[in-house]
Structure 1
Amino acid sequence: MRRILTAAALAAGTALGFAGAAYATDLEVTHWWTSGGEAAAVAELAKAFDATGNKWVDGAIAGSGGTARPIMISRITGGDPMGATQFNHGRQAEELVQAGLMRDLTDIATKGKWTEVVRPKGLLDSCTIDGKIYCVPVNIHSWQWLWLSNEAFAKAGVAVPKNWDEYVAAAPALEKAGIVPLAVGGQPWQTSGAFDVLLLAVGGTDAFLKVYKDKDGEFAGGAEIAKVFKAADDARKMSKGTNVQDWNQATNMVITGKAGGQIMGDWAQGEFQVAGKVAGKDYTCLPGLGMSNALATGGDAFYFPLLKDAEKAKAQEVLAETLLDPKTQVAFNLKKGSLPVRGDVDLNSANDCMKKGLDILAKGTVIPWTDQLLSQDTQKQKEDLFSEFFAKPDLTVEDAQKRFADIVSSAD
Structure 2
Amino acid sequence: MNTFKAALAASTMMGAVTAASAVELEVTHWWTSGGEAAAVAEFAKAFEEKTDHTWVDGAIAGGGNTARPVMISRITGGDPMGATQFNHGRQTEELVEAGLMRPLTGLAEEEGWKDIVRPASLLDSCTVDGEIYCVPVNIHSWEWLWLSNKAFEEAGVPVPSNWDEFVAAAPALEEAGKIPLAIGGQPWQIGGAFRVLVASLGGPELYQQVYGDKNAEVAGGPEMAKIFKAADDARKMAAKSTVQDWNQATNLVITDEAGGQIMGDWAQGEFQVAGETAGEDYTCLPGLGVHQVLSTGGDAFYFPKVEDEEIAKAQEELASVMLDPEVQVAFNLKKGSVPVRGDVDLAAANDCMKKGLAILENGTLVPSGEQLMSQDALNQINDLMAQFFSTPSMTAEDAQKRFVDIVGSAT
Q: Does residue 361 of structure 1 match 2:378? A: no
In the TM superposition, 1:200-215 aligns within 5 A as 200-215=199-214
Task: Give the Cα separation in 1 of the matches to 2:309 and 2:123.
Answer: 26
Q: CA deviation at 1:2?
A: 2.1
In the TM superposition, 1:101-180 aligns within 5 A as 101-180=100-179
1:277-311 CA distances to partner (integer Å, 9 max, x unpaired)?
Answer: 00000000000000011111000000000011111
| Structure 1 letter corresponding to 2:147 | L
Q: Name 1:38's counterpart in structure 2.
A: 36
- Out of 31, 44, 47, the position equivalent to 2:45 is 47
**C-alpha contact 2:292 2:363 (8 A) present in aligned 1:** no
1:168-216 CA distances to partner (integer Å, 9 max, x unpaired)?
Answer: 0000000000000000101110000000000011111111101111110
Count of matched residue positions in the alignment of Structure 1 and Structure 2: 393
| Structure 2 letter corresponding to 1:24 | A
Where 1:372 maps in the other structure, the secondary structure is helix
Q: Name 1:296's counterpart in structure 2.
A: 295
Task: Give the Cα separation in 2 of the matches to 1:374 and 1:86.
Answer: 19
| Structure 2 letter corresponding to 1:236 | R
| Structure 2 letter corresponding to 1:290 | G
Q: CA deviation at 1:364?
A: 4.8
Q: Does residue 405 of structure 1 match 2:377? A: no
> Unmatched 5+ residue regions in structure 2?
1-17
Q: Name 1:229's counterpart in structure 2.
A: 228
TM-score w.r.t. structure 1 length? 0.95
Q: Name 2:261's counterpart in structure 1.
A: 262
Task: Give the Cα separation in 2 of the matches to 1:344 and 1:284.
Answer: 27
Q: Name 1:14's counterpart in structure 2.
A: none
Q: Name 2:12's counterpart in structure 1.
A: none
RMSD: 0.6
Task: Give the Cα separation in 2 of the matches to 1:393 and 1:202.
Answer: 23
Q: CA deviation at 1:369?
A: 1.2
Where 1:101 maps in the other structure, the secondary structure is coil
Question: Taking every aligned residue pair, what percent have the same amino acid on both sides?
Answer: 70
Where 1:37 maps in the other structure, the secondary structure is helix
1:323-361 CA distances to partner (integer Å, 9 max, x unpaired)?
Answer: 000000000000000000000000000000000000000
> Unmatched 5+ residue regions in structure 1?
4-22
Task: Give the Cα separation in 1 of the matches to 2:215 and 2:229.
Answer: 20
| Structure 1 letter corresponding to 2:86 | F
Where 1:366 maps in the other structure, the secondary structure is strand
Q: CA deviation at 1:394?
A: 0.8
> Which 4+ residue blocks in structure 1 deviate beyond 2 angstroms?
none
Where 2:300 maps in the other structure, the secondary structure is strand
Where 1:285 maps in the other structure, the secondary structure is strand
| Structure 1 letter corresponding to 2:268 | Q
Q: Name 1:323's counterpart in structure 2.
A: 322
- Out of 15, 19, 27, the position equivalent to 1:2 is 19
